[in-house]
Structure 1
Amino acid sequence: MKRLLPFFALALAGTSAIAGDVSMAGGDVRFHVPDAWVSIMQSDGDTESQVFQVPGSSAADATLARVSITLQKAPSLLVFQQFDKDYRDRASHLTEYKPGKAKMPTEHVYSAKEGTVRLEYYERYFYANGYAIQLRCIRPSGDAKFSATFDKGCADVAASMPS
């Protein structure tokens, strides 16, 4: 049993790696996330996802603030449009969903409640290298300094997405 403890510690340490340059879909999709973001989940398969926790200004922000990148193989623009529609429809069914104002057609801005906390959502959709990609940024509102840093990080990730 003592021999397994270092193995488990090493395995757990690997699940919360510091972010930076990220590669998904076997290297077909690459982007950059701020170094302070922590990778907390990754899934593979037909739909692939990676989730990052974004350290915040308070314990609540650090727990709730997160960014996910989800992608799915999309051999045509029609498949991409269905991907976009499906994820936007899911969002509209969240508790106390309230649409916001998007700046471009590839954005979806809204707020909703998670438990007792109102969260701000920013989604951006990309079609690149044969993949439909969703960038989803989720943060609590109320801390202007944290919100500005978080939003800049999301904008930087969006700018580094393949097009």
Structure 2
Amino acid sequence: MNRLPRLFLTAMLLASPAVGATDVSMMDGAIRFAVPDQWVPIMQSAGEKETQVFQVPGASATDATLARVTVTAQKVPNLNGFQQFAGNLRSHATSLTEYAPAKASSPTENVYTAKEGTVKLQYFERYFYSDGYAIQLRCIRPADDARFGATFDKGCAEVAARMPS
């Protein structure tokens, strides 16, 4: 193979955002994003509201069981429908055991802690509105594992950056 085409192909592979990521499609292909390859799909639902759930392997067995990312999408008629979608999900969060709000960095975020069983969890939710779809990205991890938390949060931020908006 000629050196120039080989260099071009290598450069294209390295520049590709899909390297190390799994492509996900929801709502009959209207919503597409990528998640890290290490995330394990554990649940998927289809219908008027679609959900994809990924287990995120962690530093311990507890992290691997509890750390997960959920993407929920629903077709909405307009921006008011998006606000209702986000409001309903935010309202549900306040009913969780030992719900405690934290500081969000934008109006499209919801950050809080709550308990699941005996484990305190950190929740990060981000809401997107794209082409008539309301989307929630919800990242849940144990609150007390700083090293794992940094890696988990980085992966969650990368997925948020890939969400349509």
Q: TM-score range by the shorter chain?
A: 0.7 to 0.9
Q: Return the offset for 1:144.
A: 1.6
Supply the distance in 2 between the matched residues of 1:133 and 1:94 (Cα, whole angstroms). 21
In the other structure, the counterpart of 1:57 is 59
Q: Deviations over 1:73-103 (max 9, x none)?
A: 0120000000000000000010000000000
Aligned pairs for 1:17-28 within 5 A: 20-28=22-30
In the other structure, the counterpart of 1:74 is 76
Equivalent residues, number: 146
In the other structure, the counterpart of 2:134 is 132
Among candidates 144, 150, 157, match of residue 148 of structure 1: 150
**Aligned residues with identical type, % of pairs:** 68
In the other structure, the counterpart of 1:101 is 103
In the other structure, the counterpart of 2:11 is none
Does the 8 A contact of 1:29 with 1:129 survive in 2? no
Q: Give the letter aligned to residue 69 of structure 2.
A: V
Supply the distance in 2 between the matched residues of 1:97 and 1:142 (Cα, whole angstroms). 16
Supply the distance in 2 between the matched residues of 1:92 and 1:99 (Cα, whole angstroms). 8
Q: Give the letter aligned to residue 158 of structure 1.
A: A
In the other structure, the counterpart of 1:86 is 88
Q: Provide runs of 4+ in structure 1 moved above 2 Å.
A: none
Q: TM-score, normalised by structure 1?
A: 0.88
Does the 8 A contact of 2:120 with 2:144 survive in 1? no
Q: Return the offset for 1:105.
A: 0.4
In the other structure, the counterpart of 1:10 is none
In the other structure, the counterpart of 2:34 is 32
3-state DSSP of counterpart to 2:95: coil
Q: Give the letter aligned to residue 121 of structure 2.
A: L
Does the 8 A contact of 2:56 with 2:69 survive in 1? yes
Q: Deviations over 1:114-140 (max 9, x none)?
A: 000000000000000210000000000
Supply the distance in 1 between the matched residues of 2:75 and 2:22 (Cα, whole angstroms). 23
Point out the structure with max Rg over C-alpha: 2
